[in-house]
Amino acid sequence: MELFNYTYTWSDFVGNIGVAILIATYAGLQFNYLDAKGFWYSFNNLLVAVLLGINLYYKPNLSSIIIEIFWFVISAYGLWRWYYEKKIQST
């Protein structure tokens, strides 16, 4: 068994950017820099789902693909809700 026999590709790099954004977003939420119902929280989560989805396209893992699909849909809903609530407040 070779533990470190892994070929790091450009899609891994893209996925790791997504992981970095995910960690930063979670930290921002915990340290009260981000509002869980605000634009940036949902936008960052949507971006994470896309970036990790790119990596999963080239290195598939069914369980992770399912998570990313739901992550994307829920984040898109959060952005829609943010936009809708902002639109209502401005009228």
Q: pLDDT (tens digit, 0 to 9) for every residue of the chain, 91 residues total? A: 555 788 899 999 999 999 999 999 999 999 999 999 999 999 999 999 999 999 999 999 999 999 999 999 999 999 999 999 998 988 7
User: 52: burial class by Cβ within 10 Å (0-12, 13-18, 19+)?
Assistant: buried
pLDDT of residue 14: 98
Task: Look at residues 71, 77, 31, 81 and name the one whose alpha carbon lies nearest to residue 48.
Answer: 71
pLDDT of residue 3: 58
pLDDT of residue 7: 87
Residue for token pair 């949902």: 42
